Amino acid sequence: MAFAAQGTSSATKLYLVRFTSEEERPDYLAVSNVFAGALGVVVAFVFGTLSHLQGAVWPIWCIVAMNIVAGVYALRLDKSVIRASARA
């Protein structure tokens, strides 16, 4: 969960901070943090329910599958996006 929170924080800084004005920035950051927290709670609930109903192995396989999808997505990113995130 901490790793996901760190990734969300980095993505927020990378995109929201660049594209918002000084006045709007606290509002956008607060809303994005609320949605990220709510999504984390929902995903934890789904994985907990899945573990309770099917066994502890299924949530692990779901996380592995999500990591594979994220890796494939990251490998297909445009090189300019990768360079822009490295500069931030």
What pLDDT score does 77 carry? 77
Q: Domain containing 32: what range?
A: 2-87
The model's pTM is: 0.64
DSSP annotation of 16 reads I
Torsion sign (Cα): 74, 77, 81, 86: positive
Which ranges of the chain have pLDDT less than 50? none
What pLDDT score does 5 carry? 66
Q: Are 44 and 31 in contact (CB under 8 A)?
A: no
Q: Are 58 and 50 in contact (CB under 8 A)?
A: yes
Question: 69: alpha, beta or left, given left = phi > 0 and alpha = psi -120 to 50?
Answer: alpha
What pLDDT score does 46 carry? 92
Number of structural domains found in the chain: 1
